[in-house]
Amino acid sequence: MTKLPWKPWHQVVHLRPDLLTGELSMTQFAADLYDVVMDRGSSVYRTPYEFFSLTYPTYNLRELAKDVVHRLAGKSDKAVRQLELTYGGGKTHTEITLFHLVRDPASLPDLPAVHEFRQHIGMTPPKTKVAVLPFDKIDVEKGMEVPGPNGVLRWLRHPWSILAYQIAGSEGLRRLHADSKDEERDGAPAEPLLVDLLAIPRKEDLSVLILIDEVMTYAYDKIALDPHWRGRLKNFFQYLTQAVTKLDRCSIIASLLASEPSKNDAFGKEIAHEIFTIFRREREEGIQPVVKEDVGEILRRRFFVPDSIRDSQAFRPNVVAALQGVTALDDPTKKEGNAAEQRYLASYPFHPDLTEVLYTKEPRKNNLINYLRGRMV
């Protein structure tokens, strides 16, 4: 057998300078919706240009964006969507994608990823008021600081207050308060009040998108602190989802938990079941923005210089050469034939077994760079 020419992976694809020099902080891998809203933290997620430069529009992500944008344009009845557990960071990354796509669509950067989203959606997204409820950032006693429509920051304790202030500032709080005061209310506002609140942006011809993240992080601690909150949270989510379905340019995207409660955590399982049931009431399927086949391309876009990964077919000679050595020692891979070649090509320069592990088990994020450096084809 003729030995094919083979190059080390680092001569075929080129690491981003910040990764090569060690300047890439591990904190940049942690997508943080709250930091994006507060306009702070890593520019990788906060700045639309950097974000879409590194974002791979997977098919499922494009489909979700299409459904959401059509809902915000009044062309769909899919009002409430729940994100399933996915490859590490997929859920929050998805919500940040939607945040940037619809908040100010006229200012989106001229990048391939943006064009892919627009082409798949089939229309320019309507300008949208985006409100976020990142429950992992809401302190169970003090609450959370959020910006109002005019940019003024305010500390608020209850989820409905945090939502109302983002939607309409002090006017939002007055709409919910029994005495129309610029103050918080303790009980969950009923559906008609939330409908009234969410309709306010329509006066400026704005749609409304509500992004909910890590509900269980907050719910578990809040209910443990005060059992009455079990009913309050259930009522809030029940009334909120009902209100959203009654407004034709309003949508909720919810990521409820980062990981399943442990087998021994009966309390956590009960709470999760109650909240999941509310969001599934609309009988819409859960969304997995990232599937196993997407992992290789996601990693390439995050770690390598764009010009070096632009033509995936350029990887083929190196994949074929590497497989000659693998199949000489591994009979099962040899029997796979073309299927093995396609797997290796899809994950290059990472070994396909590595992308499988990343998708199913997700290595510890603080070891991610070193983990990847040592496991490439």
Domain limits of the chain? 9-16+304-373, 27-282
What is the DSSP track for 149-218?
TTS-EEEE-SHHHHHHHHHHHHHHHHHHSTT--SS--SSPPPHHHHHHHHTGGGGGT-EEEEEEE-HHHH
HSE, CB side, 13 Å, CA atoms: give it for residue 109: 14
What per-residue confidence (pLDDT) applies to 292? 73
What per-residue confidence (pLDDT) applies to 282? 55
What per-residue confidence (pLDDT) applies to 273? 84
pLDDT (tens place) for every residue of the chain, 377 residues total: 555 567 787 888 888 777 777 666 555 556 889 999 999 877 788 899 989 988 888 888 999 999 999 999 999 999 999 887 544 447 888 999 999 999 999 999 998 899 999 999 999 999 999 999 999 999 999 999 999 999 999 999 999 999 999 999 999 999 999 999 999 999 999 999 999 999 999 999 999 999 999 898 899 899 999 999 999 999 999 999 999 999 999 999 998 875 555 556 787 788 888 888 888 775 455 667 777 777 777 778 778 887 788 777 788 887 788 778 777 777 877 787 888 788 888 788 888 777 777 666 544 443 444 444 444 44
β-pairing, 153-156 vs 207-213, is unpaired
What φ, ψ does residue 95 adopt, rounded to 5°? -65, -35
What per-residue confidence (pLDDT) applies to 376? 44
* pTM exceeds cut of 0.95: no
Which are the contacts of 324, defined by CB distance < 8 A and separation ≥ 6?
1, 3, 4
Q: How far apart (Å, rounded) are the C-alpha atoms in residues 77 and 71?
A: 6
Q: How far apart (Å, rounded) are the C-alpha atoms in residues 112 and 235?
A: 42
What per-residue confidence (pLDDT) applies to 84? 74
Q: Are 14 and 310 in contact (CB under 8 A)?
A: no
Q: How far apart (Å, rounded) are the C-alpha atoms in residues 375 and 377?
A: 7
What per-residue confidence (pLDDT) applies to 370? 44
Q: How far apart (Å, rounded) are the C-alpha atoms in residues 359 and 184?
A: 42
